[in-house]
Amino acid sequence: MNLGIYIDWETGRSCVYGSNDVQGRQELWKSSVDNKVEKEPWLIAGDFNVVRSSAQTTCIPDATSVEELNECVDQADITELAGHGCVFTWGANWNTGEYYLRNLDQTSVMKPGCNLSLPVLSISKHRASQIIVI
């Protein structure tokens, strides 16, 4: 994921990569909850490799994985930034004509007043993101 970050406050930053396997993602979710930041702004961005709802994919998501990510987000008091632009950040099987799209790349923050911009899909399978503090 290409990520441009423009922030004018002191903040904690976490770049995450959610493993393709369930156990690896469960360890990431536990670590995120265990290390949540209580008082300072905290920016979390990366490829979570799972969607938060069926609205974030063109195929049927794994219900258990969706539930586990949502529990992590709730327990760590994480707020997903409202995105502007394309809904989906990742795609696969472009050559077969049976492609599917997902919003695997998440950007979340624990401070209000941010917007997320998702430009048009580039050469990478992942969409670039830009965070702007307003």
What CATH number has the domain bearing residue 63? 3.60.10.10
Judging by DSSP bridges, how do beta strands 105-109 and 42-47 pair with one another?
antiparallel
Helix (H, G, I), strand (E, B) or coil at 31: helix
Question: What DSSP character marks residue 115?
Answer: E
Q: Which domain holds residue 44?
A: 3-133
Give the total number of structural domains in the chain: 1
pLDDT of 116 > 60? The answer is: no
The pLDDT tens digits for 57-102 are 777 788 999 899 899 888 887 777 666 566 666 666 656 666 656 6
pLDDT of 111 > 60? The answer is: no
pLDDT of 1 > 50? The answer is: no
The confidence score (pLDDT) of residue 75 equals 87
CA of residue 84 relative to chain centroid, distance: 14
Average pLDDT of the residues of the chain: 68
Calculate helix-pair angle for 63-75, 22-34, nearest 10 degrees.
10
- Please tell me the distance from the alpha carbon of residue 63 to that of residue 48, in angstroms, as a whole number: 15
Helix (H, G, I), strand (E, B) or coil at 23: helix
Report the share of the chain in percent with pLDDT over 70. Answer: 47
